Amino acid sequence: MPSKRILWLIVILLVAGCAVVAGSGFDKLFGPADPTRFDTPPAGPASASYAQVIQPILDRRCVVCHACNDAPCQFKATSWDGLARGASKTPVYDATRLRAAQPSRMYVDADKTSEWRALDFFAVLNEHAVQTPEANRTAGLMHRLLALKQAHPGPTEGVVGGGLDFSLERAASCPAGEEIDRYERNTPMAGMPFGLPALSTTENDTLTRWLAEGAPAVAPSAPTALAMQRVAQWEQFLNGDSLKAQLFSRYAYEHLFLAHLYFDDDPQRQFFKLVRSATPPGQPVRVIASRRPVDSPGVDRVYYRMVPERETIVAKTHMPYVLSAQRMARWREMFLDPPYAVTSLPGYSAQDAANPFSTFAALPVNARYRFMLEEAEFTIMGFIKGPVCRGQMALDVIRDRFWVVFLAPDERFDKPLSAALARDANLLRLPTGSSNTDLLVPWVQYARLENKYLESRSKLLTGVFEKRVKLGLNLVWDGDGRNDNAALTIFRHYDSASVVKGMVGDTPRTAWVIGYPLLERIHYLLVADYDVYGNVGHQLNSRMYMDFLRMEGEFNFIALLPRAQRIPTRDAWYRGDSRSTREQVYGGKGTTLRSESDVRYKTSDARRELMEQMKTRLAPVLDTRLDLALNAPPALRAPLRDLAAISGTSLQWLPEVALLVIDTPDGATSTFTLLRDTGHASVSHLVGEKRELRPEEDTLTVVPGIVGSYPNAFYRLDVAQIPALADAIRQLRSERDYTVFSQRWAVRRTNPAFWAVSDDVLARYRKTQPLEAGVLDYNRLENR
């Protein structure tokens, strides 16, 4: 009997032959395509439930690559609507475009499949007149790509060959219609899942049978009665008629538009999105499809509505945010009850979009700061996770691991800060007011504005610290004694990043101290104002301006050091940089502080000591879930501590993020994350990052559970093998060494057990980290 692989190959050849004989492709075989065919899901009989059987298969095998803006060919497998929408040859990410591109956001820029066809998306399901199993298989690109993988499953050991390119910069191959014939002939190893093991026989049969049936589905289940009751309460709260209520709601929306909102008393934890609608509560939502949340809605009155999240939750965009009666009361106390007046509402011009300080000047500064501060992890996560799903250029502005703390809200600061913001609002406007921005001229202009702001800030700080406040640790927010958002750790993984609560890992090289003006500008520059579809000027100016914001956060930390150690610390962070660059951080006209620190130091290494004193101050509220000493199984703590102690040049051969799966003799399995912290001489350069690398300064952070949305590798071993793994890492000297290392320790792309390990890791992720868990992304999985 012929093998299953040979049978699949025969099927592909016969299908391809039929298309060639037909001469003009699928139209002659199956009639003209009907772009409206999937405007609503087909309701025919199905051999399997879409929600209970089909989507879970897609989540485990397809969504791991096909989600968010970085999905290859913009094909999103996160919902039936994503399958019906299809794919596009136009990439979302394009750092060279001179004009902003047409947005293509699911559930925003088009409502029906036929509307996506008008935006140049092509079908991956059969939309032709003939709707038979044969036609659905032959004209359905999704089926064809699955069949191609079954016929050419690839090697079962070593690395993937066949000329497949796994780099993020690879030219996309997005075959549309009859182009699939040539794709199959030219790239037989490029079936789906791309560069990973084929689906199991059961999974493949279930999925392909459903596709042959015409991809039937039923509408998603409605939210529960409890959830809808909470939606009604929150929509009423967010749509008050007073000018004060409308201005607050706009502020809340512009900070929460990326959130996955859920209710604290909802046992099912259903997620919702906050949107702008042209219709009030009680009527069907009509989403306002502006490019950005700060752009003009085009209607006289905006309503803020909540709609269910309809796509699979993926880790790289998952930003959970809880709503509760306590939060509603807190916001009412901060924004609605205080006796201040809002006499008019601001507009939505480019100038308004570029300057939240003038747009929301009527709202109390302390309330605005508290809104972001009390959920600081979420606020910073906006910069880390959205609206961009990838981007080395956007992230080379930060170090690989650093701690973040915040300036404490203080009545002694509020009045002078409010006056300064009112006076200097024009200096604080951002270069991202428009999606189409020029390059050099705006940058020079905004650099001058930043320098003027720094001079003004220096005068403010000098006055405060000479007359009102001591320059000590009391300036650092202690979370009000109960809030674990007081300290965060940010990890950069080259072209992605993560933020977590707590001070994770050994004392890092750098830290940021963030106050209100800085936190607000980070959010608007990189989240609310940022347009991933914007032109090259918009993208580049965002990146370049972020240099200023990083430097401000570093200045705030350096200011707490003894005066004699401020410039040496600055120079250690900016090795090889020009004097003007270094003085932009500290020591220049607007970046020098005459006041001496009130922090008491006992050692000559004030930088390290300051971080440790901050850690001690914040100990009562620190989130310690990622502390190995507290949360690793006792038998694993000592060997993992030794693993985490590895540093130096051997680490340069490790990937940025590796998931370590450890089996113990009692049958338990645990997941840990290995995070390579890459040493840099400086991170102030837009290009030439490799020249700034300092491999001898590389370190390794090991944490329980999963940190990072884009694992580069899976390693699996028994607990007794941890010392051997550590020794193997210490011995790495070349790429060839890593290949040998990977052969022994890694669960590679080619490993027949890959999907079993992947499923096990995801199941444990959801069990142990249920709130933040989502489907991981394998687009950065190595092939080494």
Q: Each residue of 398-451: pLDDT tens digit?
A: 999 999 999 999 877 777 888 888 888 888 888 887 888 876 656 678 888 899
The Cα 152–Cα 157 span in angstroms is 14
CA–CA distance, 328 with 333 (Å, rounded to integer):
9
Return d(Cα 709, Cα 50) in angstroms, integer.
Answer: 26
pLDDT of the residue at 360: 96
State the pairing for strand pair 713-718/657-663: parallel
Q: State the chain's mean pLDDT as an integer.
A: 93
Q: What is the pLDDT, as a whole number, of residue 14?
A: 46
- Torsion angle (degrees, nearest 10) of CA 136, 140, 142, 144: 90
* pLDDT score recorded for residue 543: 82
Cα-Cα-Cα-Cα dihedral sign, residues 750, 751, 753, 759: negative
What are the pLDDT digits (tens) for 202-246? 999 999 999 999 999 998 999 999 999 999 999 999 999 999 999
For the stretch 279-327, pLDDT in tens is 999 999 999 999 999 999 999 999 999 999 999 999 999 999 999 999 9
Residue 82's closest CA among 66, 99, 60, 100? 66
- Across the range 609-626, mean pLDDT stands at 98
Identity at 483, one-letter amino acid code: N
Residue for token pair 């909102």: 261
The predicted model gives 135-159 an average pLDDT of 97
pLDDT at site 36: 97
**What's the confidence (pLDDT) of residue 115?**
98
Which range is least confidently modeled, 244-258, 460-474, 614-628, 658-672?
Answer: 460-474
Q: Is the pLDDT assigned to residue 67 strictly greater than 90?
A: yes
CA atoms within 13 A on the CB side of 762: 22
Chain centroid to CA 574: 27
Distance CA 487, CA 498 (A): 14
pLDDT of residue 299: 97
Mean pLDDT computed over 189-202: 97
Give the residue-averaged pLDDT of 524-535: 91
In this predicted structure, the answer to whether residue 725 has a pLDDT above a threshold of 60 is yes
User: Of the ranges 15-24, 97-106, 691-700, which one carries the lowest mean pLDDT score?
Assistant: 15-24
Task: Report the pLDDT value the prediction gives residue 424, as an integer from 0 to 100.
Answer: 87
The pLDDT score that the predictor gives to residue 542 is 84
Query: What is the rounded CA–CA span in Å between residue 254 and residue 328?
Result: 17
pTM for the model stands at 0.94
Question: Looking at the chain, how many residues does it have?
Answer: 784
E strand or H helix that includes residue 205: helix 201-212
- Looking at residue 441, what is its pLDDT? 56
Q: What are phi and psi of 280, to 5 degrees?
A: -80, 170
Residue 15: its pLDDT value, please? 47
**Is there a contact between 623 and 489 (Cβ–Cβ < 8 Å)?**
no
pLDDT computed for residue 395 by the predictor: 77
Q: Number of C-alpha atoms within 13 angstroms, CB side, residue 360? A: 29
Specify the pLDDT at position 443: 62
Return the beta strands (E) in 572-684 as ranges: 657-663, 669-677
DSSP 161: -
pLDDT in tens, 623-677: 999 999 999 999 999 999 999 999 999 999 999 999 999 999 999 999 999 999 9
- Residues 161-171, mean pLDDT to the nearest whole number: 88
In the DSSP assignment, the letter for residue 323 is E
Query: What is residue 418's predicted lDDT score, i.e. its pLDDT?
Result: 80
Between strands 320-323 and 497-501, the pairing is unpaired
Q: For residue 342, what pLDDT band results from cuts at 50, 70 and 90? A: very high
Looking at residue 444, what is its pLDDT? 74
Q: How many helices (H) and strands (E) does the chain have?
A: 29, 12
pLDDT in tens, 9-22: 444 444 444 444 33
Asked whether residue 521 carries a pLDDT value surpassing 80, the answer given is: yes
Residue 19 is predicted with a pLDDT of 41
